[in-house]
Structure 1
């Protein structure tokens, strides 16, 4: 008998003790360490910033996690490349000059005032075309200066290169101011002229007027293409992802960046299946943030119409590859907890 007890104690008893301990650990895991039947995630609005037109992209507020308000400027889309605009403006300036040269022919005294007025008109168009050309170069110079400024702050370029970029920008800014003043002066002179050509019926007047009208419309079109199309933030929040790089050609509707709101709105809870719990609107729940002891009371605002697949954040540790489904709930946000967007919380029925 003593021999059998010794064999049982040394052979079978350790196995039984190990099996009991393992069973106890599994029970404790299910009750304490496993996720509760109701979990939730703090929800905040998210929006995608899309290109309104096709063109070349230039970000304005392009720092990661940069806070924006609704309507703030995010980027600019240049519809036409600066090189093409420069070439088109050069061609138009040459056409205006040819028109001016072609109008200098012997004319009658009654047409001299008309010719003077048309010379002012052509000078004004030339000044506007020249101003548009300078603005194309000025926009590029500003981008270059901003790039040199960042590189100089990081000590990646010399002070000489930085000062050269600054000087080039200042020269173009002064040139833009001078030509803009000339354009304004010519426009005022045209407005003060007594003879505008409406009463002159000669073929020369009609031909020059038609040419000037066409050139002005073409210049107005180029001036519109010169202005980049702004892209504004649809919601307030932080930029969390950039999907396109500055300088890329984007098409209308392409997603440029993602903005996530920093203001929590509500909690989306998930009741795992199978469950005997039948949630309803107005049900009281206790919200406990992960890793914190404080809790607060919240209410179910809406109950989802169908079960959905749970995301990776809610998968059980011992069965990560097993698809689980849950019924979503819209739960009010307890303000006293200070929950941040994306935070995981545990939910339970109030005792």
Structure 2
């Protein structure tokens, strides 16, 4: 029996013995009757003998010859030894550490280069700002160009004047007053506001000229010197004019003078407190920007000299104001300017136009 089970495991021997026993079981169940043994015992015994011969035929074979797939699987398991896997993982970890150290050194190098380039950029930026400042001073000293480095440069003032005063205050003020004063036409309200703005501009102009005369000890009627020949005086006047004490004084003086005019009193008569407050705010802020533009170098002016002129001749300085009703006039011909609703912002010598104005054009 020891020779029979050589090279086989106990589980395999039990499986093969079960095949033999399974063929004998029907004989035990049916008994040894003469007829039943003929039909049942012989086929069962034949199958059992056949399985036994097959089983005996395998006794001389080695276990390794039974299944090549098992051998291949065993070889694979031996090749994938845990110790060898551990060694491979160790090698991979060492390579990863080396790559990690290399990446870290590269990052440190790149950071150092970035810091160096950033310092160089800061130095260039400072040098560029210095050159820009010097060029701005040269432009300002020429008397013909604005100082781009100045927070009160002409372009900046023109943009703020158009956005803060025209878009935020003047448009709403016109609509509110026209709605509340039903007995006054829209064109009449625009004309009164235009007269007030022109008065403010004239007062700012006169006050700025008087400052120059005071610096040079000139009489009130004396002509002012040219800007190019007295840049120091005009620059000093400009710096003093930007002082908050001076600007507040100018606003109060202009508002007090304007409140005495007939146009102002007619606009605030029979209007709500809200409309009156809006008008006062508009006057003060308009006076502030008008003053800053008047003392600028070169000087900026507001143009109102378009009344009675054909609109086609001034399209480069004004745009047409859209009124609710068609504008009529018994004297002026069709296509001419009836009223300057909003002034244009230009240089004193007509050399440049920063912002276009708006005019009311006669239609019939």
Query: TM-score, normalising length from structure 1?
Result: 0.23
Structure showing the higher strand proportion among its residues: 1
Name the larger-Rg structure.
2
If asked which structure has higher relative contact order (CA below 8 Å, sep 6+), I would say 1
